[in-house]
Amino acid sequence: MARSSSRKKNAPKKPPRRFFRWLLFWLALLCLVVGTVVCVIYGIWSSTFDMEAVKEMPQRSIVYDMDGKLYSRLQGENRIVVPLSEVSRNFLDALLVREDSRFYSHHGVDPIGVARAIVRNLTRGSAAQGASTITQQLARNSYPEERVGNRKNIHRKLLEAFIAVRIEQRFKKDEILEFYVNRIYFGAGVYGIEAASLSYFNKHASQLSIGEGATIAGIIRSPGRFSPFTNPKGAKRERDTVLDRLAKEGKISTAVAAEQKDDRLIVAKKRVLSAQENYAMDTVRRELDLLLSDAQRDDGGLKIYTTIDPTLQQAAEKSIDVQLRKVESRPGYAHPKRVNFSQQAKEDELQTPYLQGAVVVIDNKSGGIRAVVGGRDFSESKYNRATQAGRQVGSTFKPFVYAAAFARGMLPGAAISDEAIERGEITGAGNWTPGNSDGTNKGVLPAEDGLILSRNTMSVRVGERAGLEAVEKVAEDVGILGMTRQPAAFLGAFESTVSELTSAYSTFANNGIRRQSYIIERIDTSDGAIVYRAAHVSRPAIDPGVNWLVTSTLEKVFERGTAATAGALGFKKTAAGKTGTTNDFRDAWFAGYTTSLTCGVWVGLDRPQTIIPHGYGAALALPIWVDVMNAAPANRYPAADFRPPGPLQRTQVCSLSNEFATTACERAGKAYSIDLPASVIPRDPCHIHRGGALTEEEERPRKPASGGVFRSFKKFFGGD
């Protein structure tokens, strides 16, 4: 008995039951307090997230051509948002069994999955893969990483859970599912089910089969690893896993699952998803920078309707390179050729060492830009020579000089001297004595010949008659803003861009009405709200009668002038236009128009230098113009005869005074007949001949006296 008593005395005492109850109570209380604090903290934190952000998802803005057809997409997330009704049930079933089979029964959080993730994170000290619901994944993808974090830890899991609960309170289940399938990343640079379906299977999301839906659902967890493009075996394995799950959940039969698993995984050829890169899209992007805020551009999802005609755009892109390759292949061509460009070091980001060109085509009726090409290859040079490069315009400016002179009473048959300009003859020009490009002089000719044949000496005298201020006013009225107020401007010795000059020429095509050119017709949001609409600004710039005189003269440029070779190049349409060549053959131009289209072409080297000897606009720029204008379909861009602004009246005019010819003018051999619009018909009879002819001595041109007195013609028509 004593031994037994000794053993009981030395045994350790058991804690009383009261202690265990006390410990459990305080542990429970601690958990309750901690849980309450956590809930309060994360509840408050999650309340700072705007639930509307769940609906807002960036997508690439779509650019449409003039016919409303898809032309390109701007840079950004390659996503096309579609309603849930346009997503195949085959994909939705596969998605749910793969990612969240209890989606329609929970309230944003799967308690078992969350508990499992918390335990793993606490025990392992790192983020283990959890069982996030679709709503939690949507929460994670809807907010910036700097707010929810990008690591799998307990903080992010808790925050996702609280945000998911708020999402479930704010939106219906089908809305949540729609947001999810449009937002998440599916690999291959695409976001959302529609872009993924088009990318992988070249079909809309509504058309996905069971196997295709299972394939796309199978890659969600790791799009990079299981992409059908890069890992077809892995993609097929994930597809088959999803098919087994579909059968287990009763969505499809075991037989159907087996049949689908036996099918080969066939995906579309990998598509190029980057935005179309060319000078037209460059012009569109630059316009968007002016029309939209940073937020509007970044959010994307816009529908941008442009005036681009893909047919003319492609024709212009092709012709520039084809025609300039011909120039580079000429014997003795002295500059680097584009064919060797890949072996040459690029001097800077803007310029290329090889011959370049630019084209702009404008629809006369609307002012819409149908094509814009700023170089031979956008991938080799992003510099848009059509809109950014200022180059001397040369003789393409002469029509505006003649327009100013016609507006002041000069007529196409006026007698203008083509003789050499003498020192001091031109006001404000000092000893400037420009000559003709062919080095010849042809005596006194009708004024229109100065424009048709591009005679420099005649054009300077016509400009002198009009006056610098009047010429500058015409230039400003048609949108040419760079003219220098010096007599050399009469010959185009100043810079302009191809787009500016082409737009100015379209004034001639529009009977003197200047229409502001533009490339963006309208911008809509994804839900159809109009953000921007082109204003279609137009205003009178040139008197219609004066404009008719210019156009009827420029028509003859194709008949017997500097563009007479157009016929041999295959151009048979009615058109008017003007060549241009600058000093030392550094720039070659042609600008011309039909009743439907105006097209401007420039050819030159980025660092101005002689292109080739005798590299006139007719030789270098005109062939490109002919190619582009011939590519314009006649049913869309008819080239009708030019029509005067009203009935023409047959008029007898004196070539010296530009007034009604009298019998004395006829006797002196100075009268000629011309059909004129009402606004330019002279009002008075000739004041020069006054009933008698001038003597031979009076009509003979005189040498200028000291002080720069002009030839005897000056007192009759201002210096010619």
**58/534: higher pLDDT:** 534
Measured CA to CA, the distance from residue 526 to residue 301 in angstroms comes to 6
Residue 490 and residue 460 in contact, taking contact as beta carbons nearer than 8 Å: yes
For 486-513, the pLDDT digits (tens) are: 999 999 999 999 999 999 999 999 999 9
Task: Supply the pLDDT for residue 114.
Answer: 58
d(CA 160, CA 179): 16
CA 12 to chain centre: 89
9 vs 355: which has the higher pLDDT: 355
Whether 580 shows a pLDDT value over 50: the answer reads yes
Q: How many CB atoms lie within 10 A of CB 314?
A: 14
- The tally of CA atoms less than 13 A away on the side-chain side of residue 612 is 21
The total number of residues shown for the chain amounts to: 720
Reduce the DSSP state of residue 8 to 3 states and report it: helix
> How far is the C-alpha of 381 from the C-alpha of 607, rounded, in Å?
14
Token look-up 């429970």 returns 28
Q: Poorest-confidence range of 366-370, 439-443, 687-691?
A: 687-691
Using pLDDT thresholds of 50, 70 and 90, give the confidence band for residue 379: confident
pLDDT at 55: 75
Burial of 85: CB neighbours in 10 Å, binned 0-12, 13-18, 19+: exposed
- pLDDT score of 146 more than 50: no
Please give the DSSP secondary-structure letter assigned to residue 560: H
Quick one: pLDDT at residue 697? 46
Residue 458 CB contacts under 8 Å (≥ 6 apart), including other chains: 416, 417, 418, 445, 447, 449, 450, 720
Q: Which residues pair with 202 in a beta bridge?
A: none
Token pair 């149908």 is found at 370
> CA-to-CA distance for 490 and 405, rounded, in angstroms?
11
pLDDT tens readout for residues 272-284: 444 568 999 999 9
> pLDDT value at position 713?
33
10: its two tokens? 């030395």
Across the range 349-370, mean pLDDT stands at 93
More confident position, 357 or 32: 357
Banded model confidence at residue 704, pLDDT cuts 50, 70, 90 = very low
- For residue 244, with 0-12 CB atoms within 10 Å meaning exposed, 13-18 middle and 19 or more buried, which class applies? middle
Could you give the 3-state DSSP secondary structure of residue 43? helix
- Least confidently predicted of 14-28, 353-367, 434-448, 701-715: 701-715
Interatomic CA distance for residues 290 and 308, integer angstroms:
18
Which pLDDT tens digit goes with each residue over 151-166?
455 656 677 777 778 8
pLDDT band at 74 (very low <50, low <70, confident <90, very high): confident
Predicted local confidence at residue 189, as pLDDT:
80
Per the model's pLDDT, the better-predicted residue between 639 and 527 turns out to be 639
Q: Rounded CA gap, 189 and 184, in Å?
A: 11
Cα–Cα distance measured from residue 662 to residue 641, given in angstroms and rounded to the nearest whole number: 33
Q: 251 pLDDT exceeds 60?
A: yes
The tally of CA atoms less than 13 A away on the side-chain side of residue 478 is 31
Mean pLDDT (whole number) for 532-544: 96
- 147-156, 238-247, 469-478, 653-662: least confidently modelled range: 147-156
Question: From CA 195, how far away is CA 594, in angstroms rounded?
Answer: 43
pLDDT band at 168; cut points 50, 70, 90: confident
* C-alpha–C-alpha distance, residues 244 and 261, integer Å: 9
Higher pLDDT, 164 or 468: 468
For residue 444, the SS3 value is: strand
* Contacts with 414 (C-beta within 8 Å, 6 or more apart), sequence order: 446, 447, 655, 656, 658, 717, 720
pLDDT category at 695 given cuts 50, 70, 90 is low
pLDDT at residue number 373: 97
Distance separating alpha carbons of residues 545 and 470, to the nearest angstrom:
17
3-state secondary structure of 159: helix
Q: Above 90 in pLDDT, residue 58?
A: no
Residue type, 593: Y
Name residue, tokens 């392992």: 124
DSSP state of 576: E
Mean pLDDT estimate for the chain: 85
Q: What is the mean pLDDT of residues 28-45?
A: 52
Lowest mean pLDDT among 49-63, 123-137, 391-405, 439-453: 123-137
Predicted confidence (pLDDT) at residue 443 exceeds the cutoff of 70 = yes
Whole-angstrom distance, CA of residue 413 vs CA of residue 670: 10
The edge-to-edge listing of strands for the beta sheet with 356-363 is 369-373, 356-363, 597-604, 587-593, 576-581
pLDDT band, residue 194 (cuts 50/70/90): very high
Most confident of 29-33, 50-54, 376-380, 504-508: 504-508
Q: Is the pLDDT of residue 703 over 50?
A: no
What is 349-374 written as a DSSP string? SS--SS-EEEEEEEETTT-BEEEEE-
Q: What does DSSP assign to residue 579? A: E
What pLDDT shows up at residue 140?
Answer: 79
Compute the average pLDDT of residues 42-47: 49
- Is the pLDDT assigned to residue 706 strictly greater than 90? no
Residue 400's Cβ-side half-sphere holds a number of Cα atoms within 13 Å equal to: 33
pLDDT value at 145 more than 70: no
Query: What type of residue is 273?
Result: L
pLDDT of residue 61: 87
- What pLDDT, on the 0 to 100 scale, is given for residue 700? 45
Q: Is the pLDDT of residue 397 over 60?
A: yes
250 pLDDT tier (thresholds 50, 70, 90): very high
Strand, helix or coil for residue 553: helix
Whether residue 108 contacts residue 10, with contact meaning beta carbons closer than 8 Å, is answered with: no
Q: Which residues are 579's β-sheet partners?
A: 590
Report d(CA 352, CA 602) in Å as an integer.
16
445 pLDDT above the threshold of 60: yes
Which residue type is seen at 279?
A: Y
* HEC-encoded secondary structure of 600-642: EEEEECCCCCCCCCCCCHHHHCHHHHHHHHHCCCCCCCCCCCC
pLDDT of residue 137: 86
Mean pLDDT, residues 427-446 taken together: 92
Instruction: Using a pLDDT cut of 70, give the percent of the chain over it.
Output: 81
Q: How confident is the model over 60-89, as a mean pLDDT? A: 89
**Phi and psi at residue 593, to the nearest 5°:** -155, 150
What pLDDT was estimated at residue 296? 80
Task: Determine the average pLDDT of the residues in 243-265.
Answer: 92
Task: Report the pLDDT value the prediction gives residue 17, as an integer from 0 to 100.
Answer: 64
Provide the 10 A C-beta neighbour count for residue 678: 13
Q: In this structure, are residues 210 and 90 in contact, taking their beta carbons and an 8 Å threshold?
A: yes
Predicted local confidence at residue 2, as pLDDT: 47
Residue 197 reports pLDDT greater than 70: yes
Q: What is the pLDDT of residue 273?
A: 44
- At 29 the pLDDT is 56
Q: What was the pLDDT predicted at 264?
A: 87
pLDDT for the residue 13? 59
Does residue 345 contact residue 516 with C-beta atoms inside 8 Å? no
Burial class (CB in 10 A: 0-12, 13-18, 19+), 264: exposed
298 has pLDDT over 80: no
pLDDT at 402 > cutoff 50: yes
Of 459 and 699, which is predicted with more confidence? Answer: 459
The CA distance from 318 to 631, in Å, is 11
Identify the pLDDT of residue 112: 66
* % of the chain at pLDDT higher than 90: 63
Identity (one letter) of the amino acid at 438?
D
What is the pTM assigned to this prediction? 0.77
359 versus 268: the higher-pLDDT residue is: 359
Q: What residues contact residue 633 under an 8 Å CB cut-off, 6+ apart?
A: 311
* Nearest of 141, 154, 149 to residue 192 by alpha carbon: 141
